[in-house]
Chain A
């Protein structure tokens, strides 16, 4: 069965060639572009549209590291974002609390420097987690560790997005 990785002729692993992903995505988009099917049968029109939609969904999934990790786990029948699994390492949750508190304080104080500092700290952690994901997914094939790291990455992405949003809001009001 074809999956998102084989669709773009990529190996099914966390560490993928993003340039190749972009290139192969564009090839599929061009081949399935509606303009090429103006005079085609309605069946052909429909199937090209389905290919374009799937390719877009696949691209969005593989491009983003957290989504790619969630998808890799899903292919192994593991639901990383299960709503009934709320247990995470206490130290990690404590760190989340601290980041959230720093974000709240900096937002209230309208302190852009503090927010930028927080963002760079979190980006460093994101890079560390992604390196860890390459290790556990592609080298060790340790799905338990991979699930753990994936869940952490999803959390950090959310806080990162909130920090970026706060920075943007403050800058708009300068």
Chain B
């Protein structure tokens, strides 16, 4: 199966690989996995006081499409509000990367990682508000 040019580009030059400080109250972490292919994806977002995502990093062990999907979303996330991030749909990721039907689940994984990261930062913010 041939990968699209965009997948290859992200796969060969992944953007924003790495980690943020998971103990930072402004950092949300999302971890998801796909049993069918054994892929694991970790997405971290840093959200400033205005609710804007300042930075995003990922680490993915999986196929080229899973790496490309997570690399792409880190680019998309920067500058977005958490609510805008939450609204990102896997179909948009799949379309941008021209993923074939058998690789759609990689984009689902990326969407779920965003949702998990947003849920984590919201939980952190809530805990901080309750503590204050």
Could you tell me which A residues sit within 8 Å of B by CB distance?
Answer: 80-84, 86-88, 90, 93-94, 96-97, 100, 151, 154-155, 157-159
Contact = CB atoms under 8 A, between A and B. Distances in A.
Interface in B105-122: 105, 108-109, 112-113, 116
Given A81-B35, A86-B32, A97 B59 contact: yes
Given A93-B31, A93-B32, A93-B33, A83 B40 contact: no
Most chain B CB inside 10 Å of its own CB: which residue of A86, A87, A90: A86
B31 A80 contact: no
A54 to B, nearest CB: 24
Which 3 residue pairs are nearest across A and B when measured between Cβ atoms? A158-B38, A83-B105, A86-B32
30 contacts: A81-B36, A83-B105, A83-B108, A84-B105, A86-B32, A86-B109, A86-B112, A87-B112, A87-B116, A88-B32, A88-B33, A90-B31, A93-B32, A93-B33, A93-B42, A96-B40, A96-B61, A97-B40, A97-B59, A97-B61, A100-B40, A100-B61, A151-B35, A154-B36, A154-B38, A155-B33, A155-B35, A155-B38, A155-B40, A158-B38
Given A86-B108, A97-B61, A159 B38 contact: yes
Contact of B33 (A80, A96, A157): A96
Contacts of B109: 86
B38 A86 contact: no
A159 B40 CA distance: 11
A70 to B, nearest CB: 9
Interface residues of B, number: 19
A104 B116 CA distance: 25
Interface in B5-44: 31-38, 40, 42
Contacts of B34: 83, 86
Contacts of A157: 38
A93 B104 CA distance: 21
B36 A94 contact: no
Contacts of A151: 35
Given A97-B61, A100-B61, A87 B32 contact: yes
A147 B35 CA distance: 11
Nearest to A93: B31
A148 B30 CA distance: 19
Contact of A83 (B36, B61, B113): B36
B82 to A, nearest CB: 19
Interface in B85-116: 104-105, 108-109, 112-113, 116
Given A97-B61, A155-B33, 14 more contacts: A81-B36, A83-B108, A84-B108, A86-B34, A86-B113, A88-B33, A88-B35, A90-B31, A93-B32, A94-B31, A100-B40, A151-B35, A154-B35, A159-B38
